[in-house]
Amino acid sequence: KIRKIVKDKKENIWLATEKGIVKISDNNTITLDKTHQQIKEDNFLTIAVDQNNNIWAGSNSGVLQIAGKKIKTYNSKNSLLPDNHVWNIAVDKNNIIWIGTKKGLLCITDQEWKVYNQTNSDLPDNTISALAVDDYDRTWICTEKGITSFDGVEWKQYKATKKRMNHYNIYIDKNDNKWIGTEKALLVLNQDGV
């Protein structure tokens, strides 16, 4: 199962799969899995590339950061990661890494790691099912209980459906439409509504 595909700044393709992380370059394909001594998990759910060309990959055991030849693993025991179930990672143009987990949203900047959850923010739910960033420095967060945007200061709620519905994916196009995949429908959220 290939769960997510990204391209880095050197035009390499990276895949998050159930059998490891795959890097495809012009003349080589490398799989990073449990046979590598620094990797304890094979089943990756998401992957992202930051502005420094570092790879961030999420699994149900935490986050793996690949910086050149160095690999670091972050989990709830050795970092501020609120939960080891990492389902989404997004990187904004300011190189802020947003990590969606089962128990909250982690924001990583050069200065700090900060966790957002229902107790210290306006998140409608702690389980983050999808993330995206737009061109206006807003992070879009999908949960079962609704969609929220966060610009670093203000949280804004959007009620996309009348009933509770799982929001599995979000994509923002060049016209700032938010395409949201749910369990029963495809939604489009824009300035005109849903």
Which tens digit of pLDDT belongs to each residue from 156-188? 998 776 677 788 899 999 999 999 998 888 999
Please tell me whether the overall predicted TM-score, pTM, comes out greater than 0.85 for this model: yes
Whose CA is closest to 73, among 32, 117, 38, 30? 38
Strand partners, 180: 170, 187
Question: In the structure, what pLDDT confidence band is assigned to residue 194 with cuts at 50, 70 and 90?
Answer: low
Strand partners, 17: 2, 20
Do 27 and 33 contact (CB within 8 A), yes or no?
A: no
Q: Residue 40: helix, strand or coil by DSSP?
A: coil
Residue 145 has a pLDDT of 85
Which tens digit of pLDDT belongs to each residue from 39-53? 888 999 999 999 999
Q: Report the alpha-carbon distance of residue 180 to residue 132 in Å, rounded.
A: 10
Own/partner contacts of 153-159, CB < 8 Å, gap of 24 or more, are 155/121, 155/122, 155/123, 157/122, 157/124, 158/189, 158/194
E strand segments, 34-125:
44-49, 55-59, 62-67, 70-74, 86-91, 97-101, 104-108, 113-116
Strand partners, 49: 55
Q: Tell me the helix, strand and coil percentages in the chain, rounded to 5.
A: 0, 50, 50
Contacts of 89 (CB under 8 A, 6+ apart): 46, 47, 48, 56, 57, 58, 63, 97, 98, 99, 100, 131
Sign of CA dihedral 141, 142, 144, 146: positive
* For the chain, percent of residues with pLDDT exceeding 90: 78
Does the pLDDT of residue 29 top 90, yes or no?
yes
Which tens digit of pLDDT belongs to each residue from 98-136? 999 999 999 999 999 999 999 999 999 999 999 999 999
**Across all residues in the chain, what is the average pLDDT?**
92
